[in-house]
Amino acid sequence: MLSPTQPITAYIALGSNLGDRRAAIASAIDLLNRDEHTEVTKTSPLIETAPVGGPPGQGPFLNAACELHTTRPPRDLLDLLLHIEHQLGRERRQRWGPRTIDLDLLLYTDVIINEPGLHIPHPRMHERDFVLEPLATIAADVVHPVLNASIAKLRSTLTS
């Protein structure tokens, strides 16, 4: 497994549709920055979106994306994201159900991983405008390593 000695760049998506959504996202970013192996280097503006999938009657989401520099290997970074979700009260009761915070590992440099519980790039990111819109504001020229298209191109294809 990749274990970088120099920081690499990774991208994550953040979302919340329960409680103080803005505070949950800010807290997640703060906790990422407190990790000695991870630094948030860019954060997109927040966007509000309707929920996609899941049970009816959910409130709207606030979504954002962050660029990270990290020396954590991919699985460790995912574990950190899951730990932060737990710290912020995330309960996994229902797939795509309402949540206080959702942190998804989207890209880890140009690495492609398909293992149980770890898929990089995120397998549905290119289908979701609520991921691509904020990601495009901080990483428009970054190329999806499987689809070989920039984030800006993927977003324009999705919204056209």
What would the DSSP string read from start to end of 75-90?
HHHHHHHHHHHHHTT-
Which one is catalytic: 35, 76, 79, 104? 104
How much is the pLDDT for 58?
Answer: 79
Per the annotation, the verdict on 95 as an active-site residue is no
- Tell me the sheet residues that pair with 38: 70
Which one is catalytic: 21, 72, 90, 155? 90
Per the annotation, the verdict on 110 as an active-site residue is no
Q: How far is CA 69 from CA 11, 37, 38, 82, 114, in A?
A: 9, 8, 6, 18, 22
Per the annotation, the verdict on 90 as an active-site residue is yes
For 8-159, the fitting CATH number among 3.30.930.10, 3.30.230.20, 3.30.70.560, 3.30.559.10 is 3.30.70.560
Could you list the pLDDT tens digit for every one of the 160 residues in the chain?
555 678 999 999 999 988 899 999 999 999 999 999 999 999 999 999 988 776 777 788 899 999 999 999 999 999 999 999 888 876 666 555 577 899 999 999 999 999 999 999 999 999 999 999 999 999 999 999 999 999 999 999 987 5
How much is the pLDDT for 91?
Answer: 65
Which one is catalytic: 102, 128, 141, 155? 102
The backbone torsions φ and ψ at residue 10, rounded to the nearest 5 degrees and listed phi first, read -130, 160
How much is the pLDDT for 2?
Answer: 57
How much is the pLDDT for 147?
Answer: 97
61-70 and 8-16 strand pairing: antiparallel
